[in-house]
Structure 1
Amino acid sequence: MPPVDLPLLIWIAFLIVACVQIFYYLFFFRRLAFYKIEDQITAQHTEYPLSIIICARDAEHLLRKNMHYWLQQRYVKPDGKPNYELLIVDHCSEDDTARYVHQLSSAYPHLRLLRLYQQAKGIAGKKFPLSMGIKSAAYAHVLLTDADCRPASVWWASHMSQGFQPEKEIVLGYGAYEKQPGWLNKVIRYDAFFSALQYLSFALAGYPYMGVGRNLAYQKALFFRHKGFTSHQHIPSGDDDLFINQAANRHNVSVILHPDAFTYSPARKSWKSWWSQKKRHLSTGKYYHRSDQLRLGMYAASHVGFYLLLLLVLIFPPRHLPHLLFWSITLGMVFCRWIVQHIILRKSMQVLKEDDLKPYYLLFDIAYCLYFLIFMPLAFKRKVNSEWS
């Protein structure tokens, strides 16, 4: 039996993972990169009344900062009155959150306060207040965001409501982070961008698997039909991604990517805080459908494999291949992946208004090997922080 040519096997494996990477970019990620943004919003678009729900705990300072963005949405009835309610769910706050909202409600009839005085035993995170908010919502369509988020424009609600077309029960939006100086901010925003590249592209391809609570809408009937968060109420995170993973299918999800429909929130200020947030968010991945885990895992494995195997191939090239053939195929594959990635990532950043990240994408792409190696195993740890995300 002839000896195994290990360098040749490594080279073949490299070619395979490179092809897998190119496939993901051309089949999935191009859908976001070449997404056609149609501006069809008019002041008369009022088809679906909305309940905008925001859960708040000791968030008076955030409400004072962002309340006017939510209250001044240009989403009105024919008589000019707001065609939405803003429902603030005060979950056991010890500050003046309730008093502040109550004072404003006299001037803004579409502002409503739901005050909760007790924690729910066995229901972690903000799933209990959000469930109560959805149950108390006045309208059949709910639009969710967080207390620290601001919509990009007064047309946010109008654009997001456009997603509720026939058979579409879920609307996915983009929740961006505010731009600030420093590398931590760039890392956090690239991470949010790349996460959005995956979940939005997969949804556009007919494989929705998650959404982000910073910018998400769905029908109340869908929430009740799937019994809310009952199947994962013991998990601190997952009020957004786990519910969407449970309730979404290829027919009932739409994506809205108009820049006026984005939301923006401040990024974490320290590496330790961001690290803790990432561990909490990744802790839900093990509860995704197996098919979603497989698609995400295959991409992560091929991403890491591309760089590791390329390094091994360059150190230990196959001995029995003509040098010209080896270098032509190897460099050709590297260049092919790079040019496809270059076009799709830059165009995707343009769609999501993250243009300032363009000069750094190759650096971040290489660094993502370390990201996958460190963070993916953490997704399988059972103990996670119960702090709100």
Structure 2
Amino acid sequence: MVLLYVFGAVALINCAYYILFSKFSFLKPSEKRTSEKYPVSLIVCAKNEAENLQNHIPLWQKQRYHNFEIILINDASVDETLEVMETFAANDPRIQIVNVKNNEAFWANKKYALTLGIKRAKNTRLIFTDADCYPASEDWLATMASNFSDKKQLVLGYGAYEKQPGFLNKIIRFETLMTALQYFSYAKSGNPYMGVGRNLAYTSNLYYENNGFMSHIKIPSGDDDLFVNEAATSENVAICVEPEAFTYSLPKKKKKKWLIQKKRHYSTAKLYKPKHRILLGAYFIFNFLFWLLAPIILFTDFWIFGFGIIFIRILFQYIIIGNAAKKLKEADLLPFIPFYELFLIFTQLSIFISNSSEKNSRWK
């Protein structure tokens, strides 16, 4: 009986998190809006991204926005990245190039390169993406910019991955969906904690007020989530989840490469504010406990009650995550949500264990 009570408490906490996530999941779609009120600077940091830039610069140039510049940062590339940038800049005065060379103090440091790009920008409102990302529509910049106001200095967007065949693709997109569900929900509840650099916007005023990336300049990752964790408040953050404002990129095709990417991303979580570490850590722990105890409870005399608890918890999961998946155009993931979650939990556990014994100092 004690085990049943413990299992019920674990499932109840799981459901409490889903109620929190409903802040985003049941968010009513806003009216489609774009804005050309403010001039903006699109900032892209690229390291050995010649092919992606060749494909994506034309898409950024085609944005339906009357007043924007494109800041292309060549972060000490050894391929033709700089040459590609110069070719496009020669025919488009909106393109400005920042050519960064390695130095001993900031060797292979993306944040140093981004800092130089931000200083080069002539506009106060900055929109960021990665060289391997492309916008979902020609209204991406206008839709993201429409969320800026005198109060809203930071805009969280959604950086999706392309749908492709295979189990790994679904896991990558499910992990991306769950990460977005969490950071959008926390932001809507007045407790923002992160964003993704594939689709992020903030003002230079906010950047300088928080001393840029200085508090974590030596950490290889975190130019997006650590900055948001430090600078975001309940008053200055807006979220942008209109499909026209999504960005897309190609997911990793090899599990090993994806795990390396995730290890780098997860390594910054230990530097979040204590309240965020506690909330995110508890979410993982109670999800892990649920799946650990679920098969055990089904082999006890109270298996009927245990089955009922499992059913209710998974029903909550399908309703909340299902709505979010539809909102973020990931509805094809719905049939196997519990299975994806179980796989992801044990993958994350292995990454956390691995990260505790490794160090990395370069972003690529």
TM-score by length of 1: 0.89
1:227 aligns with 2:218: no
- Corresponding position of 1:141: 125
- Corresponding position of 2:341: 365
Flag the 1:164–1:118 CA change in 2: closer, same or farther, 3 A: same
Instruction: Write the distance in 2 (CA, Å) between the matches of 1:109 and 1:362.
Output: 50
1:18 aligns with 2:27: no
Cα contact 1:168–1:252 (8 A) shared by 2: yes
**What is the one-letter code of the residue matched to 1:31?**
K
- Corresponding position of 1:322: none
Q: 1:63 aligns with which of 47, 53, 72?
A: 53
Identical counterparts, % of pairs: 39
**What is the one-letter code of the residue matched to 1:202?**
Y
Q: 2:68 aligns with which of 74, 80, 84?
A: 84
Which consecutive unaligned segments of at least 5 residues does structure 1 have?
1-7, 77-82, 318-325
Q: 1:197 aligns with which of 157, 167, 181?
A: 181
Listed one character per residue, the Cα deviations across residues 248-285 of structure 1 (whole Å, up to 9, x for unaligned) are: 11111110000010000111121111111111111111
Flag the 1:124–1:227 CA change in 2: closer, same or farther, 3 A: farther
Q: 1:30 aligns with which of 19, 22, 26?
A: 22
Q: CA deviation at 1:10?
A: 2.0
**What is the one-letter code of the residue matched to 1:32?**
F
Instruction: Write the distance in 1 (CA, Å) between the matches of 2:248 and 2:103.
Output: 29
Q: CA deviation at 1:330?
A: 2.7
1:355 aligns with 2:331: yes
For 1:299-338, list aligned pairs within 5 A: 299-317=283-301, 326-327=302-303, 329-338=305-314
Listed one character per residue, the Cα deviations across residues 169-198 of structure 1 (whole Å, up to 9, x for unaligned) are: 110000011111111111111111111111
Instruction: Write the distance in 1 (CA, Å) between the matches of 2:104 and 2:147.
Output: 33
1:375 aligns with 2:347: no
Q: CA RMSD in A?
A: 1.7
Q: CA deviation at 1:372?
A: 3.8
SS of alignment partner, residue 315 of structure 1: coil
Flag the 1:116–1:300 CA change in 2: closer, same or farther, 3 A: same
Cα contact 1:304–1:372 (8 A) shared by 2: no
Instruction: Write the distance in 2 (CA, Å) between the matches of 1:159 and 1:307.
Output: 40
SS of alignment partner, residue 93 of structure 1: coil
Q: 1:218 aligns with which of 195, 202, 210?
A: 202
Q: CA deviation at 1:301?
A: 0.8
**What is the one-letter code of the residue matched to 2:351?**
F
Instruction: Write the distance in 2 (CA, Å) between the matches of 1:366 and 1:94.
Output: 40
Instruction: Write the distance in 1 (CA, Å) between the matches of 2:244 and 2:104.
Output: 36
Which structure has the larger Rg? 1
Flag the 1:117–1:379 CA change in 2: closer, same or farther, 3 A: closer
Instruction: Write the distance in 2 (CA, Å) between the matches of 1:382 and 1:250.
Output: 34
Instruction: Write the distance in 2 (CA, Å) between the matches of 1:214 and 1:172.
Output: 10
Q: CA deviation at 1:97?
A: 2.3
**What is the one-letter code of the residue matched to 1:261?**
A
What number of residue pairs does the alignment pair up? 364
1:40 aligns with 2:40: no
**What is the one-letter code of the residue matched to 1:15?**
G
- Corresponding position of 2:233: 249
TM-score by length of 2: 0.95
- Corresponding position of 2:151: 167
- Corresponding position of 2:266: 282
Instruction: Write the distance in 1 (CA, Å) between the matches of 2:149 and 2:14.
Output: 33
Instruction: Write the distance in 1 (CA, Å) between the matches of 2:21 and 2:227.
Output: 23
**What is the one-letter code of the residue matched to 1:371?**
T
Listed one character per residue, the Cα deviations across residues 117-141 of structure 1 (whole Å, up to 9, x for unaligned) are: 3336146531111111111111001
Flag the 1:358–1:385 CA change in 2: closer, same or farther, 3 A: farther
Which consecutive unaligned segments of at least 5 residues does structure 2 have?
none
